[in-house]
């Protein structure tokens, strides 16, 4: 990432050395000799990163830092000093400084800290962008579908999203988009402004299930040295998504059923009953009816979940969506790889349509990502697709 950096130091030699070093790393650098000059410049321009000397004539670095909290709220600030103390560092950090760096004669320590700060900036921007665009990503207008099975499913999901307390069961093969659909329900329902808390049940050992779900009080068991909120409380006024619910054993299923039925719980080691104020969405790749008949899934839990069941079709049964989904992924990875590839040639479409995609939409996304890395022109062709796909693909009648 190329950053805009403001360097503020009263020593001319230090300013010049910092500008030279950071400019060599392709950053855009401006230098100022006082806190007053820095604050004046902020009225016209906002940098990504500020290197600020602590000890300067007139306005000190700490005084300038206090004003930066309102004048350059989003800038990352690194304090520089040749006379640093622990007290200075603590005060600077309290005022929002990212780091505190002791200046050396050769200034070699500056670049690693700046690199870390720029990496932090990049991550912060990405998180902010994703948060800003999350609602749009899962909005109705952002969904890609041309097939009858998906149109029928989305009509059902629209109704489900409006029922804030109904537990939803999502069924479908691996890679069909169960978590994505859970987020669609969340972002278009009454709990859209609340958190979306998800966990894969496969990763929950039996002895930890209740602790993770309900949380626990201090002293509830050996090692419980403080209270911990469980998933149900973390999802307060939002959505709790339990993926691969079919992997829970019968005892864990019984615990879950009581929670869903009574909509209350208490923390391990506690006595206070707490209301469940979150929508619960569960998902599985298993054939639950078969699991019930073979004694691996509780029938009463299955009956409770069938009040609202959505079955996601495999990609091979919604071929009409192959092209639109592929183009969506091409745009995504075009941005990632810096490529302007927006067209699929007929040969590539034929290969994609003729491949069974056992990994469904997730596998298609991986295939398009790989193809975009290899693509040299403006159009993605069959030769950009994996050879094993071209060998397996058979003509599919639409």
Range of the domain at 155: 139-313
Q: What is the DSSP string of 233-265?
A: HHTTTSEEEEE-GGGS-HHHHHHHHHHHHH-EE
Question: 334 and 259, same structural domain?
Answer: no
Q: pLDDT digit string (tens) for 201-258?
A: 998 888 788 889 999 998 888 888 888 899 999 999 999 999 999 999 999 999 999 9
User: Could you tell me how far CA 336 lies from the centroid of its own chain?
Assistant: 16
Residues 288 and 191 both lie in one domain: yes
Return the H-helix or E-strand segment holding 108: none
- The pLDDT profile of the chain, 398 residues, written as one tens digit per residue, is 889 999 999 999 999 999 999 999 999 999 999 999 999 999 999 999 999 998 889 998 899 999 998 899 889 999 988 776 667 777 888 888 888 888 877 787 888 889 988 988 887 777 666 666 666 778 887 787 889 999 999 999 999 998 888 899 999 999 999 999 999 999 999 888 899 999 999 988 887 888 899 999 988 888 888 888 999 999 999 999 999 999 999 999 999 999 999 999 989 888 888 888 899 999 999 999 999 999 999 999 999 998 899 999 999 999 999 999 998 899 888 888 888 887 899 999 999 999 999 999 999 999 999 999 999 988 999 999 999 898 875 554 44
Residue 397, in any domain of the structure: no
Domain final position from 105, 132, 159: 132
Longest Cα pair distance anywhere in the chain, in angstroms?
Answer: 81
Distance, C-alpha 153 to centroid of its chain: 25
Instruction: List the one residue out of 118, 116, 119, 113 whose CA is nearest residue 100.
Output: 113
Burial per residue of 319-333, b for 16 or more beta-carbon CB atoms within 10 angstroms, e otherwise: bbbbbebbbebbeeb
Based on the fold, state whether residues 326 and 235 are members of the same structural domain.
no
Measured between alpha carbons, how far is 114 from 126 in angstroms, rounded to an integer? 18
Q: d(Cα 148, Cα 120) in Å, to the nearest integer?
A: 44
Those residues whose C-beta lies under 8 Å from the C-beta of residue 188, and which sit 6 or more positions away, are 138, 139, 140, 158, 161
**Domain match, 320 and 304 both:** no
* Domain assignment present for 275: yes
Pick the last residue of a domain from 250, 282, 313. Answer: 313
**Sign of the alpha-carbon torsion through 83, 88, 93, 95:** negative
119 and 149 housed in the same domain: no
Number of domains making up the chain: 3
One domain for residues 71 and 143: no
The answer to whether 295 and 288 are in contact (CB under 8 A) is no
**pTM flag (> 0.75):** no
The enclosing domain of 326 has a CATH number of: 1.10.8.60
């Amino acid at each position: 990432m190329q950053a805009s950096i403001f360097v503020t130091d009263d020593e001319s030699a230090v300013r010049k050395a910092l500008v030279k070093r950071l400019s060599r790393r392709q950053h855009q650098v401006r230098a100022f000799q006082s806190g007053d000059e820095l604050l004046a410049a902020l009225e016209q321009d906002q940098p990504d990163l500020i290197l600020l000397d602590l000890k300067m004539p007139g306005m000190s670095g700490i005084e300038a830092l206090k004003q930066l909290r309102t004048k350059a709220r989003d800038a990352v600030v690194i304090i520089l000093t040749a006379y640093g103390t622990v007290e200075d560092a603590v005060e600077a950090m309290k005022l929002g400084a990212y780091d505190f760096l002791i200046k050396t004669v050769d200034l070699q320590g500056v670049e690693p800290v700046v690199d870390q700060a720029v990496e932090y900036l990049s991550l912060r921007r990405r998180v902010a962008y994703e948060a800003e665009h999350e609602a749009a990503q899962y909005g109705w207008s952002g969904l890609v579908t041309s097939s009858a099975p998906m149109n029928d499913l989305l009509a059902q999901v629209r109704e489900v999203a409006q029922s804030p307390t109904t537990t939803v069961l999502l069924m479908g093969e691996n890679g069909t988009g169960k978590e994505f659909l859970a987020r669609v329900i969340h972002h278009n329902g009454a709990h859209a402004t609340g958190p979306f808390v998800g966990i894969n049940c496969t990763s929950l050992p039996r002895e930890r299930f209740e602790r993770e779900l309900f949380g626990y009080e201090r002293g509830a068991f050996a090692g419980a040295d403080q209270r911990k909120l469980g998933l149900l409380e973390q999802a307060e006024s939002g959505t709790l998504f339990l993926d691969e619910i079919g992997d829970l054993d019968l005892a864990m299923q019984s615990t879950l059923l009581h929670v869903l039925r009574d909509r209350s719980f208490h923390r391990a080691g506690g006595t206070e009953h707490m209301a469940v104020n979150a929508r619960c969405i569960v998902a599985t790749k298993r054939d639950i009816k078969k699991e019930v008949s073979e004694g691996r899934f509780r029938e009463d839990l299955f009956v409770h979940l069938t009040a609202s069941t959505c079955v996601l079709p495999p990609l091979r049964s919604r071929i009409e969506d192959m092209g639109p989904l592929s183009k969506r992924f091409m745009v995504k990875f075009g941005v990632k790889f810096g490529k302007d590839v927006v067209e699929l040639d007929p040969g590539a479409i034929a290969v994609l349509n003729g491949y069974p995609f056992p990994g469904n939409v997730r596998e298609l996304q991986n295939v398009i990502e790989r193809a975009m890395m290899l693509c040299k022109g403006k159009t993605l062709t069959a030769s950009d697709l994996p050879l094993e796909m071209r060998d397996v693909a058979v003509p599919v009648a639409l």
